Amino acid sequence: MSSFRGVLLDIDGVLHVSMQPVAGAAETLQWLERLGYRTCFVTNTTTSSRATLVRNLQAIGLPLAEERVVTAPVATAAYIRQHYPGKRCWLLTKGDTARDFVGIALVESGADIVVIGGAEELLTYEAMNHAFRMLMDGAVLLATHTNLYWRTSEGLQLDSGPYVHALELATGQRATVLGKPNRTFFEQALLTIGVQPHEAVMVGDDIENDIGGAQQAGLRSVLVCTGKHRADSPLLERIHPDAILPSIVDLPGWLEEQA
C-alpha cells in the first residue's frame, strides 16, 4: 500500500462520462477496496439527491455506498444544520435535491436562507427576483457551487455561478459557497472516512474545483483526462497536480509507485 490511506474521487468525468462508465472504473474501485484504501466520492452535482444519484450510478455498474458520497447539496444541508439551526430555507435546486435537506424547514417565501444550486430552467427572472427580494429583506445567500458553465452535446450551457455573482452584485452580499473547491467541502469528505488531509489524494477531472481545491485543503491530487480538462489545459500553468493520468484505471499503478 502507498503512503496514502484515503482516496477522494470525483464522479462525473472520472467514473463516468454522460452516464457511460469509464472503461475499468468499477474494477479500479474494487481494487481500492481490496487494498484497504478508504474511498469517498465528492461531486458538485446538483441535479438530484444523493440517494437518486447513487441509484443511477448503481444502474450503470458503479456500486457506490451512499454514506460515502458527499454532494454539494449534502454539504450545503450539513452547513445549514450546523450554522443556522431552525432557520427557514428557500431552495433553487433541481430534481429531488430537496431530499438532502431533510430536517430543514423549506419555505416558498420569507426565507432566512436562499440556496442557489441549480441551473437552466430554474434560473428564470421570476425566481431570481424572488431570491433577490428575500436577500434584500435580510436572508443570507448560500451557493452549492459557482461553476460558470458546462459543455453539452448542444454546446456550452451557463451554470449557476454567474447568477450567484449577479445576486451578489445586486445585493452587496457575498455568497457562502459550499461545494468544491471550498476547503470545508474536502474537510467534510475526509471526516466521513476518518482520514487526515496529508494522508489523502483527490482524483478529479476539473483543474480548479478538484485539483486546486484539494491542494488548498492540504491533499495531494491527480488529474485524469477523461472529463472536463485535458493535459494541455492552460489552467495547468497555474495549478499543478501531483500527477496527470490518462484515466482512473491508471490510478492503481500510480499509487503503487508512491509506496
Binding-site member from 3, 30, 58, 157 for its own copies (CB under 8 A) = 157
Q: Is 158 in the site for its own copies (CB under 8 A)?
A: yes
Site string for its own copies, 80-99 (x = CB under 8 A): --------------------
The least CB distance from residue 141 to its own copies, in Å, is: 13
What is the three-class DSSP state of 241? coil
Give the DSSP H or E segment for 23: none
> Within 10 Å of residue 196's Cβ, how many Cβ atoms?
11
Q: Is 17 in the site for its own copies (CB under 8 A)?
A: no
Cα 229 from chain centre:
16
Which letter, b or e, does each residue of 5-22 get, where b requires 16 or more Cβ atoms within 10 Å of its Cβ? Answer: bbbbbbbbbbbbeeeeeb
Binding-site member from 26, 98, 170, 249 for its own copies (CB under 8 A) = 170
The least CB distance from residue 93 to its own copies, in Å, is: 15
Residue identified by cell 489552467 is 235
Q: How many residues bind its own copies (CB under 8 A)?
A: 26
Site for its own copies, residues 101 to 120, rule: CB under 8 A: 119-120
Binding-site member from 58, 129, 196, 216 for its own copies (CB under 8 A) = 129
The least CB distance from residue 196 to its own copies, in Å, is: 35
Q: What are the cell numbers at 234?
A: 492552460
Maximum separation of any 2 CA atoms in the chain, in Å? 56
**Length reported for the chain:** 259
For residue 156, CA distances in Å to 216, 232, 247 come to 28, 20, 24
- Cα Rg of the chain (Å, integer): 18
Contact at 8 Å (CB) between 122 and 94?
yes
Q: Is 169 in the site for its own copies (CB under 8 A)?
A: yes
Q: What are the cell numbers at 6?
A: 484515503
Site string for its own copies, 193-232 (x = CB under 8 A): ----------------------------------------
Site for its own copies, residues 135 to 154, rule: CB under 8 A: 136, 148-149
Site for its own copies, residues 54 to 83, rule: CB under 8 A: none
Residues that bind its own copies (CB under 8 A): 119-125, 128-129, 132-133, 136, 148-149, 155-158, 161-163, 165-167, 169-170
